[in-house]
Amino acid sequence: MTAVTDQDHTEHADHTDHADHAASEDEQAGNAVPVEDVSEAVSEEAETEAAEAAEATEGEAVDAVALEEPEPEPDEPANSGHACVEDDEASSGRPDWDDGLIARRVTEATAAEHVAVVETRAHSPQTAAPLAYDGPLRSRLDALRELIGLSRTRLDSRTLAEAGRVLDEAAARRRLSGQHTVVAIAGATGSGKSQLFNSLAGVPISETGVRRPTTAAPIACSWSDGAASLIERLGIPPRLRRRPLQSAEAEAQLRGLVLIDLPDHDSAAVQHREQVDRILALVDAVVWVVDPEKYADAVLHERYLRPMAGHAEVMFVVLNQIDRLPGEATDQVLDDLRRLLDEDGIALGEYGEPGATVLALSALTGDGVGELREALGQFVAERGAPARRIAADVDAAAWRLRPVYATGRRTGLSEEARDEFAARLADAVGATAAGEAAERAWLRNANRACGTPWLRLWRWYQDRLESPTGRLPLRSQADEEATARQRVEHAVRTVADRASAGLPAAWAQAVREAAVRGSQGLPEALDELAARAGLPPGKPPRPGWWPGAVLAQASMTILQVVGGLWLVGQIIGFMSPNLGVPVLLMVVGIIGGPLVEWSCRMAARGPARRYGVDAERRLREAAAGCGRARVLDPVAAELLRYREVREQYGRVVGVGVT
């Protein structure tokens, strides 16, 4: 069958008028004219006019066409649209349909059958307005985009692939027509989906038959202009784009509908199944066609219906071939189908509730097709299917991402865990030992300043004579460093485990890695801090009473010396004998010196303790600050990032997430 050009459109319309006129005259005469006679008259008249046109010049032919057709408006194309017309850009200089659709190919019998009912009409070029999402959906898409951006460095690309695809498809669909709704007809082999497709279109567009698979490639049928970009997005070539039977009632009812006939989803050809999966991810709604034999097929329910349970609002489930069911069997099969859909988690749109529409019909007899056409017309007229489909895709993507964002317990690093980490670092750096050493140093300095000179001299002499044999062996510096490093590593592991408890696996791993990175070089840094923040250089500070104690101890020593010299002078006869006074002076000096030393030691315990505690506090604060900067802050940054992505995930889902 050759393509019909724009000039053929005019001649065809003219032939139609002649045929109608001839038929009406014969009817007025009381004679019924068969369809064959009308077709022969049309063909003979076409041959006569073709011969006359061959004798005329090209310019005269063009003028004749211009005279026969009414002059179009400036904004309207000169060509009229037909139900069975193909685009021929080589003849007309541009497509007949502004959306790039070409007319379906039909047989001569079909053309003869519908030639008398097709009316020519002019089509004006239309620019369909792009799709507009409402505020909540835009907010969810923005949150999903920000969620992916925050997660790229923490999650692998495969985990985020589906969410990224949803964003890309949402952006692509938003740029296209919002006046059209793309609905795919899907089903298993032999379910009658192509027959239903033809029944809705009003003409045999898609091939039907007993050969399996019958539909090898998706076919598009549009009820209005402006859908070319939508069909191109599906990858359907112009040769597979069709127009339905032109009817004012059908166009008013299904205006904006773009119907897609898909190959069998259970086809033996792999490429057919791949086309079905690809297009199902792009269309706005799906009409699932099942038959009484395969409506419970596991492939349909497990591979398609169950995973698409969240898309119930953009889903039709049609039980076809009810003409094969006797009596009340249709209601029984329909009830069982509803039961299976409910088990799949698909909400059914009954009693005014949102959900899938379930219908029963026979595409062969036409029973129930009008109800489906009415439901589709109302569905398309709402113009909400594209947004509902995108919202359902966002829900599905969010549900797949739930294990990597949501958790059932409270997460974070408590103050108790922070204090425990600081205490472990302080133990590793020896803060307690440093405080005790500072206290001993203060007491030792007090003893040196306030003790009796004879006792200090004796202690010095004992230290010089004491042998090192029998002392406890001191640990080497290498052993101490190894022990300190082990304590630091244990502290880091403990705080990392406490911080990552309850987090999803990916974020828990990120927290542990941040802690490990921060622990590198931490023992060395703590050693440097211990050297700087340990005992201050020089002697410990002295309290206010210290000079008085030193003076008292010096006085006791002077009394002992004076008393002794006095006694020596009496012995050698240098002084007059008088034992009372020198002995008293010596006794006072001998008893008063140790008494002053003991008093100073008692009085020095408080300042010495405070001095040791202060030294320990400084070292603990230095160790805690180093651990906070190197370990806790990176861990807290990871936890903060997780809280941010969890909040974004909550915006994507539309509810709060714990």
The pair of structure tokens assigned to 37 is 């006679």
Q: Which domains does the chain have, with CATH numbers?
A: 6-122 (no CATH), 129-179+384-405 (no CATH), 181-382 (3.40.50.300), 415-460+478-653 (no CATH)
For residue 16, what pLDDT is reported?
Answer: 38
For residue 41, what pLDDT is reported?
Answer: 37
Instruction: Compute the distance between CA of residue 193 and CA of residue 221 in angstroms, rounded to an integer.
Output: 14
Query: Which pLDDT tens digit goes with each residue over 248-277?
Result: 777 788 999 999 999 999 888 899 999 999
Strand pairing category for 121-122 and 80-81: antiparallel
Evaluate whether 395 touches 136 at the Cβ level (below 8 Å). Answer: no
Instruction: Compute the distance between CA of residue 134 and CA of residue 110 in angstroms, rounded to an integer.
Output: 45
Max avg pLDDT among 22-31, 80-89, 146-155: 146-155
Q: Which residues contact 153 (CB under 8 A, 6 or more apart)?
A: none
For residue 48, what pLDDT is reported?
Answer: 39
Instruction: Compute the distance between CA of residue 96 and CA of residue 85 in angstroms, rounded to an integer.
Output: 8
Query: Which pLDDT tens digit goes with each residue over 516-539?
Result: 998 888 888 887 777 776 555 556
Residue 449 pLDDT class (50, 70, 90 cuts): low
Check residue 272 and give left, alpha or beta (phi > 0: left; psi -120 to 50: alpha).
alpha
Instruction: Compute the distance between CA of residue 69 and CA of residue 335 in angstroms, rounded to an integer.
Output: 56
Instruction: Compute the distance between CA of residue 408 and CA of residue 425 in angstroms, rounded to an integer.
Output: 32
Looking from the CA of 613 toward its CB, the CA atoms found within 13 Å total: 6
Q: Which residues contact 515 (CB under 8 A, 6 or more apart)?
A: 492, 493, 495, 496, 499, 631, 634, 635
242 phi and psi angles, rounded to 5 deg: -130, 165
Instruction: Compute the distance between CA of residue 495 and CA of residue 599 in angstroms, rounded to an integer.
Output: 47
222 phi and psi angles, rounded to 5 deg: -115, 140
For residue 17, what pLDDT is reported?
Answer: 40
Cα dist from 582 to 59, 454, 467, 552, 579, whole Å: 156, 19, 40, 19, 6
Whole-prediction pTM: 0.65
User: What is the rounded average pLDDT of the residues 476-482?
Assistant: 55
Query: Which pLDDT tens digit goes with each residue over 601-648?
Result: 777 778 888 888 888 888 888 888 888 999 999 999 999 999 889 999
Residue 160 pLDDT class (50, 70, 90 cuts): very high
Looking from the CA of 153 toward its CB, the CA atoms found within 13 Å total: 9
Q: Which residues contact 556 (CB under 8 A, 6 or more apart)?
A: 452, 588, 589, 592, 593, 596
Q: Give, as one character, the DSSP assignment of residue 287.
A: E
Q: Which of 529, 549, 528, 537 is closest to 438 using CA atoms?
A: 537
Instruction: Compute the distance between CA of residue 518 and CA of residue 510 in angstroms, rounded to an integer.
Output: 12
User: Which of residues 162 and 104 earns the better pLDDT score?
Assistant: 162
Query: Which pLDDT tens digit goes with each residue over 17-62?
Result: 433 433 333 333 333 333 333 333 333 443 434 334 334 333 333 3
Residue 114 pLDDT class (50, 70, 90 cuts): very low
Residue 482 pLDDT class (50, 70, 90 cuts): low
Mean model confidence pLDDT for the chain: 76
Which residues, in sequence order, are bridge partners of residue 319?
A: 290, 360
Q: Which of 170, 172, 171, 145 is closest to 160 using CA atoms?
A: 145
User: What is the rounded average pLDDT of the residues 319-329?
Assistant: 92
Amino acid at position 135, single letter = G
Long-range contacts of 447-450 (CB under 8 A, 24+ apart): 447/597, 447/600, 447/601, 449/542, 449/546, 449/549, 449/550, 449/600, 450/546, 450/549, 450/550, 450/553, 450/596, 450/597, 450/600, 450/601, 450/604
